[in-house]
Structure 1
Amino acid sequence: MSLKLRLTIMNFLQFFIWGAWLITIGGYWFKTKQWSGTEFGAIFSTMGIASIFMPALTGIIADRYISAEKLMGMFHIIGAGVLCYLPQVNDPSTFFVVMLINMIFYMPTISLSITVAYSALQKANLDIVKVYPPIRVWSTIGFIVAMWMVSLLKIETSPAQFYVAAAASLGLGLYAFTLPKCDINKGENNKTWIEALGLDAFKLFKQSKMALFFIFSMLLGAALQLTNAYGDIFLHEFDSNPLFADSIAVQYPAIIMSISQVSETLFILAIPFFLKRFGIKNVMLMSMFAWVLRFGLFGIGDPGSGLVWIIISCIVYGMAFDFFNISGSLYVESQTDEKIRASGQGLFMMMTNGFGAVLGSAVSGVMIDQFFTSADGVRDWPNIWFAFAAYSLVVALLFAVSFKHKHDPQEVENFKH
């Protein structure tokens, strides 16, 4: 089996696990369990809480003690067991704890899978910028396939979605042990305690440009959690309106939302061109303004005549997500020494899916309940989305002014080494 195919299978399963429940858990939470929005925001913050410390910690372990592919395999096997237990929970507080445990083991596997891929491609003397994006596309395809499976099986509001995710997690856990071995850098005995603990990556904050990069990674991470948490339930709640109850968007919301992931597969292939043509700052800025459009178009959309705006919003999502997340990981790769590569990717994950997710989930849950939900529990979705769009616009303008970076067409060549 070729290296590219082996990494493709890894990426497919990595995001199939997430796609099986991430977008549809809102339907399970609000429709089946009928728990509150504030509590739901807390559930989505679990991935953020886990990402604050776990990716960086596992990056340290992968750099120095246990190879990344083995660590990823162990985490996925444990995660499969936790996912199987999740449907047995009937209390929101307990659900929070169990989901947090699941996220503690799942979130670091995202950065670990990137480390495995980059390490294998570099050892094979392949150009990461050219070779990795087509492989990474299969992560998105895995996410899409999972969403379609859950939607077509009519289990969007059912606990069965967690069993689907668990089966995939167990499969990837076992498969990970067959992946190319990543090197471990145990280091010399004369290193300081900071170096011995693998905290070298945090030195990146001493560079003003990198510090700003990580701060805006956090702010963009908040935007990502908003669309993940509320996109599916936004469409589900149109089922109370006779005008829209029988529409395709309401009957199969996960399929409509999967257009976002289809868009990813297109935009991710454009990353090498855009990075070389426009540079990291402009590519990231494009992502930020795409988030403004993503939320704003949701605000004017509906499952009827406004469905076109929802579809366009889903198409825009590809640029919003890929142009920051994938380009950001490549940027971190170019700025870190190979001895702290996994730690650097873990730090990036910590800022986006850690602090950013906690910020977005916690604030949005309270904000929606306090300002955009009527006494009878009806949510004002247009203004919710417009508020999210305003937030994204402020972030984009601040980034444009504060992040100083002159584009050099040769800078992307650094990603090859």
Structure 2
Amino acid sequence: MSIKFRLTVMSFLQFFVWGAWLITIGTYCFNAKGWTGAEFGAIFSTLGLSSLFMPAITGIIADKWLNAEKLYGILHILYGIILIYVPKVDDPNVLYYVIFGAMICYMPTISLSNSIAYTILKNNDYDVVKVFPPIRVWGTVGFIAAMWLTNIFSSPNPPSFLHDFGLSVGNGIATLLDSPVTANQFYFAAFFAIVLGIYSFTLPKCPPQRLISKEASFTEQLGLNAFKLFSNSKMALFLLFSMFLGAALQLTNMYGDAYLNDFKNFPEYKDSIVVSSSTIIMSISQISETVFILAIPFFLKRFGIKQVMLFSMIAWVLRFGLFAYGDPAEGLWMIILSCIVYGMAFDFFNISGSLFVETTTDSSIRSSAQGLFMMMTNGVGAFLGSYLSGIVIDNYYTQNGIKDWHNIWIAFSSYALIIGLAFAIFFKHKHNPEEVAKVSH
């Protein structure tokens, strides 16, 4: 098998094992378990909390001591084992710690997968800017595939065609494991996470970039040099905005499916496709990602890193704003358009940000620097966004158990607009076409 194909399989499974439950866990907690926004917000905040330290720690380990592909495999196997236990938990306080354990293993694998792909492609003389996005796009395809499987098999009443062909897998697994049908999402993720963990040991070796010398300082021995990036004003500002935008990145993953599902409370919408296939509707967001990921090389070379990240922030304003005014009837186009712009909102910042780190850091701390970027976006930012949004929604946008989704999305959109304006004014970065080419060599 070719190197590109092997990395494509890794990318597909990397996001398949996340997409199987990430979008639907909100509906699972609100509807199947009956928990509050604050309880769910705390559980979801573990994604951010684990990213505060684990990507940086694993980046240091991969830079200094252990092959990146081996560390990656170990983490995925542990992640899969923990997910098997999730459906057995009925207490939100216990689930908080279980999901936290799973996220400690999973979140650092996102930045590790980037580092592994970059290393293998460079070692085989590929142009990373051209070759990596088409590989990464298969991660989005994996996420979509997982969402569709979840929507089909985690429903109490799977589509009739499954019964016609004797493929009522969802109910079959549920009966076998004596668990609610809605728990199937976690079993899907667990099985394929373990498969991915085993598969990663077959990838080309990605050894530590630099051995530790006896003369190295204590800071160097611990691999903490990446934190010196904060002493660079441009990098510090970039990481600060990464944190602020990170607070918005997971909001639609947290609440999007629950928002669409809540239209069932309106008689005129209860039988709409938005309610019956909410997860499939949400998957349009990931389908959109496949287009925008492939467009990233053009946008980066034409507009530069700063403009591409700014496009992302504008897209977040539209993402939330369109949700605020959409509905399953006359406003269905707004919901669909919101899902389409998500592709630009999510990928333009994450991938261009990752490439910015790749082009502005020394190779000896590159895995650590990628982990630091992940820490600020999916760590500090996502933790604050997840935890505080649950409290704010409970206190200001919920009455008698009914959420005011219109004003929730307006508040999120206003936040993204403020961050985008501040980024445009304060982050100074002149476009240099040769800058992007650096990552290819």
CA distance in 1, matches of 2:199, 2:136: 17
Corresponding residue for residue 309 of structure 1? 334
Corresponding residue for residue 394 of structure 1? 418
Corresponding residue for residue 148 of structure 2? 148
Contact 1:217 1:351 (C-alpha < 8 Å) held by counterparts: yes
Corresponding residue for residue 165 of structure 1? 189
Alpha-carbon distance, 1:304 to partner = 1.6
Contact 2:49 2:380 (C-alpha < 8 Å) held by counterparts: yes
Give ranges in structure 1 of 5+ residues lacking alignment. Answer: none
CA distance in 2, matches of 1:330, 1:227: 24
Q: Which amino acid aligns with 1:177?
A: F
Farther off after superposition, 290-299 or 330-339 = 330-339
Instruction: For residue 402 of structure 2, give the secondary structure of its aligned residue in structure 1.
Output: coil
What does 1:32-181 correspond to in 2, within 5 Å?
32-155=32-155, 158-181=182-205
TM-score, normalised via structure 2 length: 0.93
Identity of aligned residues (%): 61
Within the alignment, does 1:343 sit opposite 2:368 as a pair? yes
Contact 2:66 2:207 (C-alpha < 8 Å) held by counterparts: no
Q: Which amino acid aligns with 1:53?
A: F
CA distance in 1, matches of 2:367, 2:205: 14
Q: Which amino acid aligns with 2:215?
A: N
**Match for residue 191 of structure 1 among 212, 216, 238:** 216
Corresponding residue for residue 281 of structure 2? 256
Alpha-carbon distance, 1:227 to partner = 1.1
CA distance in 2, matches of 1:183, 1:76: 19
C-alpha distance after superposition, 1:75-115 (max 9, x if no partner): 11111110000111110000000000000000011111111
Corresponding residue for residue 222 of structure 1? 247
Say what the alpha-carbon RMSD is for the aligned residues.
Answer: 0.9
Farther off after superposition, 128-137 or 335-344 = 335-344
Contact 1:137 1:265 (C-alpha < 8 Å) held by counterparts: yes
Q: Which amino acid aligns with 1:179?
A: L
Corresponding residue for residue 433 of structure 2? 409
Within the alignment, does 1:383 sit opposite 2:413 as a pair? no
Contact 2:153 2:184 (C-alpha < 8 Å) held by counterparts: no
C-alpha distance after superposition, 1:137-176 (max 9, x if no partner): 0000000000001112244971111001001101101001
**Match for residue 356 of structure 2 among 325, 328, 331:** 331
CA distance in 2, matches of 1:179, 1:382: 47
CA distance in 1, matches of 2:46, 2:214: 37
Contact 2:154 2:183 (C-alpha < 8 Å) held by counterparts: no
Contact 1:232 1:257 (C-alpha < 8 Å) held by counterparts: yes
Within the alignment, does 1:366 sit opposite 2:357 as a pair? no
Residues 219, 37 of structure 1: alpha-carbon distance in 2 compared, 3 angstrom cutoff: same
Contact 2:63 2:365 (C-alpha < 8 Å) held by counterparts: yes
CA distance in 2, matches of 1:65, 1:409: 35
CA distance in 1, matches of 2:276, 2:28: 14
Farther off after superposition, 186-195 or 326-335 = 186-195
Alpha-carbon distance, 1:187 to partner = 2.7
C-alpha distance after superposition, 1:293-328 (max 9, x if no partner): 000000000112211100000000000011100010
C-alpha distance after superposition, 1:12-53 (max 9, x if no partner): 000000000000001110110000000111111101000000
> Structure 1: which 4+ aligned runs deviate by more than 6 Å?
none
Alpha-carbon distance, 1:229 to partner = 0.3
Contact 2:80 2:190 (C-alpha < 8 Å) held by counterparts: yes
Contact 1:47 1:107 (C-alpha < 8 Å) held by counterparts: yes
Contact 2:12 2:142 (C-alpha < 8 Å) held by counterparts: yes
**Match for residue 286 of structure 1 among 308, 311, 328:** 311
Within the alignment, does 1:352 sit opposite 2:377 as a pair? yes
Aligned length: 416
Contact 1:221 1:352 (C-alpha < 8 Å) held by counterparts: yes
Alpha-carbon distance, 1:191 to partner = 1.3
Corresponding residue for residue 178 of structure 2? none
CA distance in 1, matches of 2:39, 2:191: 27
CA distance in 2, matches of 1:30, 1:409: 48
Give ranges in structure 2 of 5+ residues lacking alignment. Answer: 157-180
What does 1:201-280 correspond to in 2, within 5 Å?
201-280=226-305
Contact 1:127 1:416 (C-alpha < 8 Å) held by counterparts: yes
Contact 1:76 1:105 (C-alpha < 8 Å) held by counterparts: yes
Contact 1:44 1:225 (C-alpha < 8 Å) held by counterparts: no
Contact 1:67 1:182 (C-alpha < 8 Å) held by counterparts: yes
Contact 2:154 2:185 (C-alpha < 8 Å) held by counterparts: no
Contact 1:239 1:246 (C-alpha < 8 Å) held by counterparts: yes
C-alpha distance after superposition, 1:198-240 (max 9, x if no partner): 1111111111110011011111111111111000000111112
CA distance in 1, matches of 2:50, 2:26: 20
C-alpha distance after superposition, 1:365-387 (max 9, x if no partner): 0110011001x110000000000
CA distance in 2, matches of 1:66, 1:303: 51
CA distance in 2, matches of 1:171, 1:319: 30
Instruction: For residue 403 of structure 2, give the secondary structure of its aligned residue in structure 1.
Output: coil
